Amino acid sequence: MNARNILKNETLQRVGRLLLTRRRLSTREIRNGADVCAVNSIIAELNDPLNDWKIHCERDGKYFYYTVLKPGHGADLCRRAA
């Protein structure tokens, strides 16, 4: 997979901005809050070395939850846009 660069991609920036709230967010909360689809693919792109985010994924029953462990490249851009 070729990850998109968060510095050049508004979709990744919207998800990054939402994740920077430091809350534990479900797939549905990310999908609705950032108006995106394919949340797992977007998380994989953020975790890619190109963007260097560290996002923890945890399954609780049938739901998945995401938490930022370390914001990576573009975190300042996401904060400014908020």
* pLDDT tens per residue, range 11-60: 999 999 999 988 899 999 999 999 999 999 999 999 999 999 999 999 99
Q: In what order do the strands lie in the sheet with 63-70?
A: 25-26, 63-70, 54-60
Q: What is the CATH number of domain 6-81?
A: 1.10.10
**What pTM, to 2 d.p., does this model score?**
0.90
Extents of the domains making up the chain: 6-81
- Inter-residue contact 51 to 73 (CB < 8 Å): yes
Residue 69 dihedral angles phi and psi, to the nearest 5°: -90, -35
End-to-end CA distance of the chain: 29
Residue range 1-21, pLDDT digits in tens:
789 999 999 999 999 999 998
